[in-house]
Structure 1
Amino acid sequence: MTNNKMPTFILASASPARRRLLQNVGINPIVLPSDFDESLVNISNPQELVKTLALRKGETVAAQQTQGLVLGCDSVLAINGEIYGKPADADEAIARWQKMRSKVGELLTGHALIDLQQGKTLVRCQVTEVYFASVSDRQIAAYVATGEPLKCAGCFALEGKGGLFIEKISGCHSNVIGLSLPLLRQMLDQLGYDVTDFWGF
């Protein structure tokens, strides 16, 4: 598709990290947070949960548009089958880190890409393994005191101070930050778009 026919790219998320990821690869999205009430969805399977939430968020924003590509995303951390979203407060964040340290978790991000022009919707999930360091109680308290983990699914920001407390990741790096860039490229390909056409030369 040529540049003048490229649809508007809409990010149905208030996440600054997701917006930065897109901007860093040349996609300048219009940001329209969905404000979808996540408590309406109660699913115990983490993959199905993030896919459903991503789709609901995307659909909420798409319903208010007549054209464009709408991307909805949702991320959770799962450890031994237990699902974690954003911590409610500092106490919960501290308790969470005390459980997570020295363990391996799965960071799952659901991606829903809605193409209003073509009337097509793709929903996918990317999974990345995260190896948490053996951090001390003092380090946990200091990290939570920065406020950073309170804003993140999984209670850490890989691209921030939390990166100090991750030993390694196995899988897609950007997925841990908020969306999988390789997966997004594949989804755009499937809809007939070349990701480089969004660079807006």
Structure 2
Amino acid sequence: MTTPARLVLASKSPARTKLLSDAGIVHSILVSDVDEDAVSAAAGPLTPAETALLLARAKAEAVAAGMSDGLVVGCDSVFEFDGEPYGKPWEAAVALERWQLMRGKSGVLHTGHWLINAAGRESVAHGEINSAVVHFEDVSDAEILAYVATGEPLQVAGGFTIDGLAGAFISGVDGDPHTVVGLSISTLRRLLAKTGVSITELWA
């Protein structure tokens, strides 16, 4: 019989769960049913970074509401380019247009983290934004078309990943690369410490 993981990831992102697994962190997954558009609309005008933290909090709180013990971490990523927030393109035409604008330039990927420790009489929660500057290669139209055709950029914030095919199109990252993937392990460590838990307690 295995001991249930103490950490619950409130996200269906394969990249985030892989980051945790690669870092030796035992966890389980419970996806929230948060309506991100509705939450953002209700909050009013926010910066891309504030939006990322707001949605990370909403996801964590939605999952933690059904728990009486344990840890929940929610994350959300928003890409900022020329001052504008870019979420998931969803459509090939949108991804194509974005890449034609981004190539040869740089943007900022903001990932919000919200951790809730539901143990004890009262839940304890802490949040933090981690941001990283992403520099793009000056890729050709043919390369962009080929990339969009793979479908990879359609369902990721900003329309790119650094841990997949788009890694060849990124010349550098200023900041924590894990942030660009969607979950900063070092940020998680700090948040855990604030709730009285050492990240080493979660190692497999």
Q: Per the shorter chain, which TM-score range?
A: over 0.9
For residue 56 of structure 2, what is the amino acid of its counterpart?
A: A
Report the AA paired with residue 29 of structure 2: V
Question: SS of the residue aligned with 1:162?
Answer: helix
Contact 1:158/1:176 (CA < 8 Å) preserved in 2? yes
Q: Distance in 1 between matches of 2:72 and 2:127?
A: 12
User: How many correspondences in the alignment?
Assistant: 196
The alpha-carbon deviation at position 7 of structure 1 amounts to 7.1
Q: Is the 8 A contact 2:49 2:78 kept in 1?
A: no
Q: Which residue pairs with 2:128 in the alignment?
A: 124
Look up the equivalent residue of 1:13 and give its one-letter code. S
> Residue 117 of structure 1 aligns to which amino acid in structure 2?
A
Task: Note the residue ranges of structure 1 that are not aligned, 5 or more in a row.
Answer: none
> What is the Cα deviation at residue 102 of structure 1?
1.1
C-alpha contact 1:110 1:126 (8 A) present in aligned 2: yes
Question: Hey, what's the Cα distance between the residues in 1 that align with 2:103 and 2:79?
Answer: 13
Deviation digits for residues 113-164 of structure 1 (CA, Å, limit 9, x no counterpart): 0110141100110000000110111100000111111121011110111000
Q: Using the alignment, how far apart are the partners of 1:108 and 1:34 within structure 2?
A: 20
**Partner residue, 1:159:** 163
* Cα contact 2:77–2:110 (8 A) shared by 1: yes
Question: After the TM superposition, which parts of structure 1 deviate over 3 Å for at least 4 consecutive aligned residues?
Answer: none
Q: Does 1:107 find its partner at 2:112?
A: no
1:145 lines up with 2:149 in the alignment: yes
Match of 2:22 in 1: 24
Q: Write the deviation string for residues 31-55 of structure 1: whole angstroms up to 9, x where unpaired.
A: 0111211111134311111111000
Indicate conservation of the 8 Å contact 2:72/2:115, yes or no. Answer: yes
What is the identity, as a one-letter code, of the residue corresponding to 1:28? V
Q: What SS does the aligned partner of 1:158 have?
A: coil
Looking at structure 2, the residues matched to 44 and 96 of structure 1 have their Cα atoms a distance apart, in angstroms, of 21
**Residue 134 (structure 1) aligned with residue 138 (structure 2):** yes
Residue 76 (structure 1) aligns with: 78
Identity of aligned residues (%): 44
Does 1:174 find its partner at 2:174?
A: no
Aligned partners of 1:7 and 1:67 also within 8 Å: no
C-alpha RMSD over aligned residues: 1.4
TM-score by length of 2: 0.92
Shift of 1:196: 1.1
Q: SS where residue 59 of structure 1 aligns?
A: helix
Structure 2 match to 1:94: 96
One-letter code aligned to 2:46: S
Cα distance in 2 for partners of 1:147, 1:7 equals 33
**Matched position secondary structure for 1:154:** helix
- TM-score normalised over the length of structure 1: 0.94
- Aligned residues of 2:80 and 2:108 also touching (Cα < 8 A): yes
State the shift of 1:28 in Å: 2.2
